[in-house]
Structure 1
């Protein structure tokens, strides 16, 4: 699995843990626990990449940790 950065946080609105993959626009997952959210996002990443390939879209090269300015 590519090493894209994953940002995990608690959402009061959703009452779930969310995981965002900033390098893949719109790529997010949720879960009742941090571990479950991280587990769920692995399938979402795979689906995101498969869809991008099918549509002929550019797939970003993983940069790892994003710089915060």
Structure 2
């Protein structure tokens, strides 16, 4: 079992959810609902892993809040 962290955003122009796994080449998708983007990302990652474990371009570390006055 592999666990990946996905970043999900909602596009203001299209209203679609857009998601990607940081550093994971090709692991990105979109969907109309959070359930759909989750399913789509699962399928994309599953397809990529059929060819073996990819070489990650970077490692997800986390998020930070930045306060600007």
**Separation in structure 1 between the aligned mates of residue 12 and residue 26 of structure 2, nearest angstrom:** 19
- Alignment: residue pair count: 62
Q: 1:66 aligns with which of 52, 61, 69?
A: 61
Structure showing the higher helix proportion among its residues: 1
Q: Deviations over 1:39-59 (max 9, x none)?
A: 1110000111113x2xxx744
Contact 1:7 1:19 in 2 (8 A): yes
Task: List runs of 5+ in structure 2 lacking aligned partners.
Answer: 65-69
Higher relative contact order (CA 8 A, sep 6+): 1
Number of the residue aligned with 2:67: none
**Separation in structure 2 between the aligned mates of residue 50 and residue 59 of structure 1, nearest angstrom:** 14
Contact 2:24 2:54 in 1 (8 A): no
Number of the residue aligned with 1:19: 19
Bigger radius of gyration among the two: 2
TM-score of the superposed pair, with normalisation by structure 1: 0.67
Is 1:7 paired with 2:2?
Answer: no
